[in-house]
């Protein structure tokens, strides 16, 4: 009888033997599948919007058709309700847009039937159309007043590259003087001149003979800076000094600044021969409260 003991395998070929670590590997729990091992993920279903869409725009409620919101495909509203984005809803299930809804009705009226807002609402509706990227509405609004006139005005102001900087300087000087004096208002001198040459309407006939014949050295004799706080000019356009003054006062008023102005004379700086500067000087009064 041949008795086989537990040591009989010890004499076996070492190459055929299984190491203890390999044996342990055979009895390990299978690894959890990784993301690369997992099967393909199921595609997410795009959100389904109802045909009639309830909206909550900054606390104001609107109802419109889904096709109205998608009227122009390149707009923000069309992208929001395309199904590619998540839109939160309020407690009543209305789709919420975190934007002031005061003029959203004008936006919807244009998307529905192409209606434009009345003139007094053109500017704020234009701002909303920019936010929602509604190009056709922007084009229509730019072609009506007051935006059409504003384009013409900006073309004129484009002749003066430092116009906005000068407005800021007026505000800063007036604020500093009022705070230093602890006063309700402040005054400053502003020069507004259209022509580089020192002429007045009464001197034009006498000066025109020299106007186009001056040498470079003679031209430098006429170059100087008036003793004022801020100076606007010169420019070449039909618009005159009073047109620019209107722009300055309008733009300051649009920023909530109360301003009065009056002409207090002309610059009397002597330049050459019997010619003096003669640029008009205006006193601006800025009232702060």
Q: What is the mean pLDDT of the chain?
A: 81
Nearest to 178 by CA among 288, 42, 278: 288
Q: Are strands 52-57 and 95-97 parallel, antiparallel or unpaired?
A: parallel
pLDDT on residue 272:
57
147, burial (CB in 10 Å: exposed 0-12, middle 13-18, buried 19+): middle
- CA 211 – CA 219 distance, rounded (Å): 10
Domain extent listing, the chain? 52-144, 159-198+225-287
Q: Record the tokens describing residue 209, joined without a space.
A: 């003979």
Q: Which CATH superfamily is domain 52-144 in?
A: Potassium Channel Kv1.1; Chain A (3.30.710.10)
Region of poorest pLDDT, from 80-89, 115-124, 138-147, 195-204: 195-204
What is the reported pTM? 0.64
Confidence of residue 196 (pLDDT cuts 50, 70, 90): low
pLDDT on residue 217:
56
């Amino acid at each position: 009888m041949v008795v086989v003991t537990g040591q009989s395998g010890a004499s076996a070929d070492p190459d055929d033997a299984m190491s203890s670590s390999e044996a342990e590997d055979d009895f390990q729990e299978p690894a959890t599948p990784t993301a690369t091992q997992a099967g393909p993920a199921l595609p997410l279903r795009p959100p389904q919007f109802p045909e009639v869409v309830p909206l909550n725009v900054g606390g104001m409620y609107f109802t419109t058709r889904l096709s109205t919101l998608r009227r122009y495909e390149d707009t923000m509203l069309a992208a929001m309700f395309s199904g590619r984005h998540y839109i939160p809803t309020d407690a009543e299930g209305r789709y919420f847009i975190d934007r002031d809804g005061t003029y959203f009705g004008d936006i919807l009226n244009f998307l529905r039937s192409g209606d434009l807002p009345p003139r007094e609402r053109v500017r704020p509706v234009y701002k909303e159309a920019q936010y929602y990227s509604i190009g056709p509405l922007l084009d229509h609004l730019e072609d009506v007043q007051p935006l059409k006139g504003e384009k013409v005005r900006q073309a004129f102001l484009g002749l003066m590259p430092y116009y906005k900087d000068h407005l800021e300087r007026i505000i800063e000087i007036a604020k500093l003087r009022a705070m230093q004096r602890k006063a309700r208002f402040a005054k400053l001198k502003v020069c507004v001149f259209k022509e580089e040459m020192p002429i007045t309407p009464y001197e034009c006939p006498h000066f025109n003979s020299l106007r186009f014949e001056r040498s470079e050295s003679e031209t430098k004799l006429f170059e100087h800076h008036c003793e004022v706080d801020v100076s606007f000019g010169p420019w070449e356009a039909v618009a005159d000094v009073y047109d620019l003054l209107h722009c300055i006062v309008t733009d300051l008023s649009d920023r909530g600044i109360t301003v009065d102005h009056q002409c207090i004379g002309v610059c009397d700086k002597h330049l050459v021969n019997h010619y003096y500067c003669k640029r008009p000087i205006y006193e601006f009064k800025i009232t702060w409260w």
